Homo-oligomer: A and B are copies of this chain.
């Protein structure tokens, strides 16, 4: 696999998108970047190219991690009683669908309402607050002890997070969120502000692809059932309201974040991490998706075909 060539082919696409700028800390990221990392489970090795070691905000990809952590802490049954797995064609921060359907829980863990609900489930332990637990788990599943919180970003998220507050209080009002709202949001804004690399995301994808066992040390971190369920969620709702389209075209379970990250898990084969900041209208990395598309074809990994 010539990853350098794929970087070269797709980096120009970054000019077609716009870096997220709803908070200053995201807006000042250099747009012309593309990093790709592929963790090959069979060879148990990593290939990388481009800006694969640049740190960026994990943003919505943290929704995958917190969901997995909540399942570890509380069990699949408990968590799925509090958040659904329903696909939606509405944008990630829509409040409409909740009111229209009169549902008893948020649609799925990857829309903001559902992600906040999941974060609110994580219980403080004697020694650790929820965010501490989440970041430790993130370092473990991403195989990177250097992942830290960007307080600049989390404070910016706090300042501009009114839509998330609106969603959280809506959930609270409807009995879909029992925990303290400001504390839950504080944890949520922090989890979005962890600084990761494309390599970290490839590792995360590799754990999911490997059915919950970390391929670098062969230790199980999450249940096979949780890994399977999560990959399905990534397929049906991982790329915001364009999930169905990209599933049809690219065909690999993927979660995106507005920091420019893409994290893919090809069952039993590859974990893939990609980073390129400029986004399309739906909030997905534009050069990242074109690179992933090329990669999916070269690796022959569309799960609906191979």
Contact = CB atoms under 8 A, between A and B. Distances in A.
Contacts of A84: 244-245
A304 B236 contact: no
A107 B94 contact: no
A284 interface: no
Contacts of A108: 244
Given A100-B96, A166-B170, A170-B166, A237 B302 contact: no
State the number of copies, please. Answer: 4
B166 A169 contact: yes
Contacts of A231: 304-305
Given A89-B88, A97-B89, A241-B86, A247 B268 contact: no
A163 interface: yes
A305 B245 contact: no
Given A166-B170, A172-B162, A236-B236, A303 B267 contact: yes
Contacts of A181: 162, 165
Interface of A: 84-90, 94-97, 99-101, 107-108, 162-163, 165-170, 172-173, 181, 211, 224, 227-229, 231-233, 235-237, 241-245, 247-249, 251, 253, 267-268, 302-306
